[in-house]
Structure 1
Amino acid sequence: MKQLILWAVLLFWSQLSLALAPYIKGDKVAAADLTARVDLLEKKLQAEGFTLAGRHLPKGLTDHATVVVTDPAMLAVIRKAGGSTVIASAIRVGVLPDGSVSYTNPDYWYRAYLRGQFKSAQTGAKSVQARLAKALGDGGGMGGDVAEGDLENYRYMFGMERFDSPNSEIATHANFDAALKAVRANLASGVSDTSRVYEVVSAENQTAVFGVAMNSASDGEGWWVNKIGADHMAGLPYEVFIVGNKVYSLYARYRIALAWPALGMGQFMGIINAPDAIRATMVRVAGGGN
């Protein structure tokens, strides 16, 4: 009996050790206001070789922000992999009103977004993780957890979308240049109360990704993030990405669940309208119609 109990305990801990959190806690930044906190984070990240891509100050989430950076070495890996892996280009760092900091766990997000290409990116991912920890601190994981073996084909529960769900495709254009032009123009004009946070374009393999701020008071990110946890600021902004002549945006029952994996079903039901509202917004950003 004792052996059986010991085996069960060991199995439990071995499974737990293979679970990954979506975010890592950083050291607090003790700056007087949000702008100063963001400036400080950007300087720390640049000192470790990261390239600034944008900053996100979401409407409806007062005194919250996300700093977005890229890593040149990881971008080279992503470009070599090609296709939908372009969505993995951004590294996100969230900061809260009290100065709390968290950042995307590379091991978690690269497994989910690079999927079958992850093995070729492991060395780069470890470098990114080490330099993020040096720049921002490492206070351990936060935000829930997912077994590392589940991330390649992650879904929140049976029947919900995965990364490659067909309803993540939102527009088709004549060619890559036309798709890129449409997304840029729509974000510049603020279609559906959106704006551009960042963009990463790889013209040579016809891929691009944009961070999109959804600023609408009625169905933008503010209302649903406040319902499920604004401490996950590093989960924002949402993305649209282009592969060839097609534009995609990961369907929210996948994308939100990936960024907030500890959500209970009751919390999901509280934002039941968010997935279709987000998709409708992104369709308009993509130039896919009204």
Structure 2
Amino acid sequence: MKKLLTVLFGAFVLTLLGFSGKSGELQASSGEPTGEVSAYLQGAYIGVADAQSKLTAGGFEVVAAFESVKEGTTIVFTCPTLKREAAKPNRANIAAMRLFVDDKEKRISLANPVYFGKAYMQKDYNHATFSAVKAKLEKAFPGLKDSEDKMKFKDLAGFHFTIGMPYYEDTKILGEGSSADLLAKLKAYKGGKDLAFEIKISNDTTLVGYAVGAGTKRFVDKIGRANAGLMPWPIVVSGGKATMLQAEYYIAMNYPLLGMGQFTGIALIPGDIIKDLSKPFK
């Protein structure tokens, strides 16, 4: 009885903290991981040009290189498999994978397709599909190792940082209008200098990477430059709306080891990001 009460109490605490996800969404299918999955695959340092060459040789399309932090570059890349998965309803964010080249700390860090695939594809996740993309990256970059940033695989689809915080589907609408008009506004604002990349997914859906203000993006230095590859911010233009993943979700998903104290230290950042990304649509 004592052991049973301990188990029940532990489950109750996890639910209060918000790490247990939504019921009915976390059942692992055959072949899916049963434990933790790393958010990143890390490797020995190579320069931006060499990293881009390896991606291209490995069958990936390099979309853009973006200075995400001082002495650090995010290489955004995709492939036909990712685009195909992204074409499913409300799944556009998975089209862009990221490789962060850290010239300061001399290391590279790639987004793990299995980790972000499960998070962004939710019930549409297919493990064979995303493990195959991961295998292509491991072939292109031999010697990759799992990062310390990890989360239980079963928790990824229903993740939110804590009680009252947004889930994947709780996106923020930045602007409304035809896809053509919304994209035109993003390109016109400040001469388009903040538009980092575009990935056309269908006739009506485009995934865009956009820069937030210089002051806003300094939060990365506060909580750890190792995961700076989350910048530029993804915006989905589709169905007459431009939407973004809520900052409380997107930051925590990219920083699975983020503590409550660290999050409190950047408490104003989610609001600042919305302000920055709303400006092109005013």
TM-score range normalised by the length of the shorter chain: 0.7 to 0.9
Structure 1: gaps (5+ residues): 5-15, 30-36
The structure 1 segments of at least 4 consecutive aligned residues displaced by more than 3 Å after TM superposition are: 187-190
Query: 1:75: which partner in 2?
Result: 83
Query: 1:196: which partner in 2?
Result: 195
Query: 1:214: which partner in 2?
Result: 212
Residues matched between the structures, number:
250
Deviations 1:173-221 (A, max 9, x none): 1x2222222223236444xxxx1221111343x11111112242x32x1
| Correspondence for 2:36 among 19, 28, 41 | 19
Matches within 5 A, 1:61-100: 61-79=69-87, 81=88, 83-96=89-102, 97-100=104-107
Q: Tell me, what secondary structure is at the counterpart of 2:157?
A: helix
Change (3 A) 1:203 1:139: closer
| Correspondence for 1:28 among 37, 45, 56 | 45
Q: Tell me, what secondary structure is at the counterpart of 2:258?
A: coil
Q: Tell me, what secondary structure is at the counterpart of 1:231?
A: helix
Distance 1:235 1:138 in 2: 23
Change (3 A) 1:224 1:207: same
Distance 2:74 2:265 in 1: 24
Change (3 A) 1:102 1:137: farther
Query: 1:227: which partner in 2?
Result: 222
Q: Tell me, what secondary structure is at the counterpart of 1:269?
A: helix
The question of whether the paired residues in 2 share the 8 Å contact of 1:92 and 1:236 is answered with no
**TM-score normalised over the length of structure 1:** 0.81
Structure 2: gaps (5+ residues): 5-32
Deviations 1:88-109 (A, max 9, x none): 1111001112420110000110
What amino acid sits opposite 1:70 in the alignment?
T
Change (3 A) 1:73 1:189: closer
Q: Tell me, what secondary structure is at the counterpart of 1:224?
A: helix
What amino acid sits opposite 2:243 in the alignment?
Y
Root-mean-square deviation (CA, aligned residues, Å) is 1.9
Identity of aligned residues (%): 24
Distance 2:143 2:247 in 1: 29
**TM-score normalised over the length of structure 2:** 0.83
Change (3 A) 1:125 1:101: same
**Which structure has greater helix proportion?**
1
1:153 and 2:158 equivalent? yes
The question of whether the paired residues in 2 share the 8 Å contact of 1:143 and 1:261 is answered with no
Distance 1:264 1:47 in 2: 38
1:273 and 2:268 equivalent? yes
Change (3 A) 1:156 1:187: farther
